[in-house]
Amino acid sequence: MNARSLKTRPKNDTTHRIFVAGTRMNDGKTTTCLGLFAALQQRYEKVGFIKPVGQRFVKIDGQLIDEDSVLLEKIYRVEVPITSMSPIAIDATFTKRYLDSPAGIGAELVHKVCDAFDRTSWEKNFTLIEGSGHAGVGSVFGLSNARVAKLLGAKAIIVSRGGIGQPIDEIALNKALFDSEGVEVVGAIINKVQSDKMDYIRTYTGRALKRLGVPLLGLLPEEKTLSSPNLKQIQERVSARLLNRDDLLPTQRFDNIIIGAMTATRFLKSILPNTLLIAPCDREDIIIAALSHQENVEKGSISGIILTRGFEPSPDLTKRIHNSRIPVIITDSGSYTVASRIYGMTVKTQPEDEDKIPLIKKLVQKNIDLNQIVESF
């Protein structure tokens, strides 16, 4: 017996529920859920949250808990046991274990999902369900996103990124999977749309979605703040260590990155607000110019420095770095490798991202038609 053949369902059949799926990873499901949760709290007295199947997790009290469930709990205090918000975590050997014994594990998975949903939805008016990737993710162990939405009796929203052709094609594919499970798609949200193309994308994406029978619930404009890392996140990404005080690590985002491969004079002319300097340790002329610039301005434009190639700065420079207000980190990698890793980062929202959360709430409240979602019930 596999998950598909089981007749198990949640006992709760009264709480409204919506399943948020993406057309692929990093399309903005979590951002959408963060904003929708806050918006739903303005309409309903009690809102629950669950991410039935998680692929990125942390260990809490010996349990593997999805990072997005932890994020929602820390921001909103969902008043639900965290283990119920994240019943299944896909570790490195999960799929192999399932394929070795699909009947027994499949039954257990379905029970865990249904039981967790009942717990997260206890005395709740509305439960937000976050998927994991596109509608087909999880098919290998019998619990695709489309299947989970069906199992939980949920309607679905599909989130895709900005554009016309590719997003519509991907929404059509995902809708087909939901249709095959008998799950109603109440609408689509287009994320990361360039601000100057909002009207254009709204017009033509709306027309294309109408032909698919999928309402356009709204467009979320691209916001640099949501995709830009801070120095602490960069430090983890490039395996660097801090050369001065921990309290200097900034939480603001960088608007400008400069690689120190020019003269100090040219570098000083290139500085913009919130600049991150990447420079080899032996380019002391540029490093000292950056530190001196910071000392001589009221509101510094150099927000951080990454020293590359790994060898220690001279004693004089080390002392100057230690006394500076600019956070300085050092890594063994070269400058261009570091720059490539930063530009290639996928930046996830963290509970400590105090600048992001209000922005996300505002974006969803302003740009998503919540009435259309609520009226679907």
pLDDT in tens, the chain (377 residues): 344 444 578 999 999 999 999 998 878 899 999 999 999 999 999 999 999 998 888 888 888 889 999 999 999 999 888 999 999 988 888 888 888 888 778 888 899 999 999 999 999 999 999 999 888 998 988 899 999 999 999 999 999 988 888 999 999 999 999 999 999 999 999 999 999 999 999 999 999 999 999 999 999 999 988 888 888 899 999 999 999 877 777 677 888 899 998 999 999 888 888 899 999 999 999 999 999 886 666 554 888 999 999 888 999 999 999 988 889 999 999 999 999 999 988 888 888 888 899 999 999 999 999 999 999 98
User: Nearest-CA neighbor of 73 among 88, 58, 62?
Assistant: 58
**What pLDDT sits at residue 297?**
61
* Separation in Å, CA 70 to CA 79, 82, 122, 350: 12, 7, 19, 9
249-259 pLDDT, tens digit each: 767 788 889 99
Q: Catalogue all structural domains in the chain, each as residue range(s) with its CATH number.
A: 3-223+351-375 (3.40.50.300), 229-343 (3.40.1390.20)
| 303 phi and psi angles, rounded to 5 deg | -95, -10
Whole-number average pLDDT of the chain: 90
pTM: 0.86
Q: Which of 84, 22, 74 is nearest to 51 (CA)?
A: 84
Give the tens place of pLDDT for each residue, 123-157. Answer: 999 999 999 988 899 898 889 999 999 999 999 99
How far apart CA 232 and CA 250 sit, in angstroms, is 7
